[in-house]
Amino acid sequence: MSADKISSNETRHIAHLARLALSEAEIEDFTGQLAAILEHAKDIESLNLDDVAPTRHALPIKNVMRSDEVRKSVNREEVLRMAPETQANMFLVPKIIGED
């Protein structure tokens, strides 16, 4: 782990992965702040936890199923009413494949 060596290029890459169009000023700020937070997190690095299993969740629950039956759901018109753009009962987004 090289948490202390986080560079502005690395921050730029993370911003791209997170789909955040950060400004240059934000890239600079976050590079410093992330480094400081990760530096603090280094205290867990020194722990030897090879034999410890991870806890992902506080409850012993997995794969909760329900019976496959038709149930009342949210109202389509109300859902679409809140969308930025819709067409023919669907969410409308900018073109994602091909050219005109």
Distance CA 11, CA 30 (A): 7
Residue span 55-74 as binding mask against another protein, x where in contact by CB under 8 A, dash where not: xxxxx-x--x-x-------x
Contacts of 51 (CB under 8 A, 6+ apart): none
Distance CA 6, CA 2 (A): 7
Q: Is 49 in the site for another protein (CB under 8 A)?
A: yes
CB of 31 to another protein, least distance (A): 10
Q: Is 98 in the site for another protein (CB under 8 A)?
A: no
Distance CA 23, CA 85 (A): 26
Q: Are strands 86-87 and 90-91 parallel, antiparallel or unpaired?
A: antiparallel
CB of 46 to another protein, least distance (A): 10
Q: Is 25 in the site for another protein (CB under 8 A)?
A: no
Q: Which of 88, 94, 98, 100 binds another protein (CB under 8 A)?
A: 94
CB of 13 to another protein, least distance (A): 8
